[in-house]
Structure 1
Amino acid sequence: MRPAALVAVLALVLPLAACGGDDEGGSDTITVLAAASLTESFTELADRFEADHPGVDVKLAFDSSATLAQQAVDGAPADVLATADTATMDSARDALAEDPRTFATNTMVLVTPRDNPAGLTGFEGLEDPGVTYVACVDTAPCGKVAAALSADNGLTAKPASLEVDVKSVLAKVTSDEADAGFVYATDAVAAGDRVETFEIPHAADEVTSYPIAPLTQSRDSALAGQFVDLVLSEEGRQVLSAAGFGKP
């Protein structure tokens, strides 16, 4: 789907930040665009934000960082953007109301279905004949990291498919549609006993940083800023740490 079409769809399914505003023109709804790998942690943070701000509704839109950054630049009705790498956030700079701030880091691991049908014992098993693995498209941060790690480790086997985001990769693995997949450590934590996890050599050399910033099109900059502050706070750090994210 082209970016313009994505914005049109987003405009239909996500309420404008102005909806439900008070008599002074404020808003009781904010929309947060967040990388797919933030699904579990940002859902919890949104719940906490709503509990601390009675009457406020946080709408969450999760997708590939590249897709969300383009939506932000195209003026999608949203208040906050959080991406899975700094390069993607930089591509949305024209839509940022403030300089982005890094709130977490992540590394990549290899996961297999719980029963590990291919009998993998480590990353090197991806070269075995008949083994299928999946990764993200190279326009997504998770795809860039997977490609870098494949090069770092001299992997010659090609992925069976390239998925739009890391949650799609995880879904392929947990549904037994692939023998293995490149996902973030946080996704492996979220999957729990549905997957078996293996370290990837040199993963520590390919750490990805997560920045966040309010957007210029926000109709309630105060609420947007408060959500950003929550993510950056000690409370936010605890939620992110429990999900497997590293410190900025």
Structure 2
Amino acid sequence: MDEVEVVVAHSERATLRVGDMFLKVDADRGRLDTEVEAMTLAPVPTPEILWHKPPVLALAAVPGTALGRLGKPSTASPAAWAAAGAVIRKLHDAPLPSRLGRTGKSSEELAAELDGECEWLVANGVLPAELVTRNRRVAEAVLRPWTPAFTHGDLQIAHVFLDGDEITGIIDWSEAGRGDALFDLAVLTLGHEEHLGDVVAGYGGDVDLDVIRGWWSLRSLLAIRWLLGHGFDPFAPGCEVDVLRSRL
């Protein structure tokens, strides 16, 4: 019998791997429904859906290896990073997913959430006030009008798989919806700033790099409390706190 590997597990959801099958268990049925719908609509490589019986979704493993991991150097070539940018462009150019309920937060909502998290980080001694204040200023670049696109919503580097320089699949679509295209590019390159140029070259068109840097700061500031509360370490080398320090 194949061993059961726990890929990720916390109080909200868990992902298990058994052989070439992944089992996703989620307390929020809506997230699994979103994932199934997004993979059906997305014009990019996605995992094969084997079956869906809430609260469990079974997916076939995607061939290849992840583009990289947060906190670790990526061994993927510049061409592979550019290929990832090209695939993301194809997603963002697709028709808006009208059947998906998730829409990116407004600038006002983001600003309010950001202010609350910054206050919590400083008041609880999690981060120095200077570090938080500097990144709060950098994050303001995100707070501007934007045109909705079909976005993945959680395009971490570990969610993009490749074989050689070819993208074989993008996984974990539970946050997909109508969002800010530059958020996807920022999440992919979080902690891997050295590959931003390759991604943008593959993506094509004008990309506001200040907005991407703003998303690096904003996402990191907003994520730290959640990560600490769910057993993850944002202080690990190359992870969220180091991303914030790189803005100083």
Common fold by TM > 0.5: no
The structure, 1 or 2, with the larger RCO (C-alpha pairs under 8 Å, 6+ apart) is 1
Query: What interval of TM-score do these two structures reach, taking the shorter chain for normalisation?
Result: under 0.3
State the TM-score, normalized to the length of structure 1. 0.27
Structure whose CA Rg is larger: 1
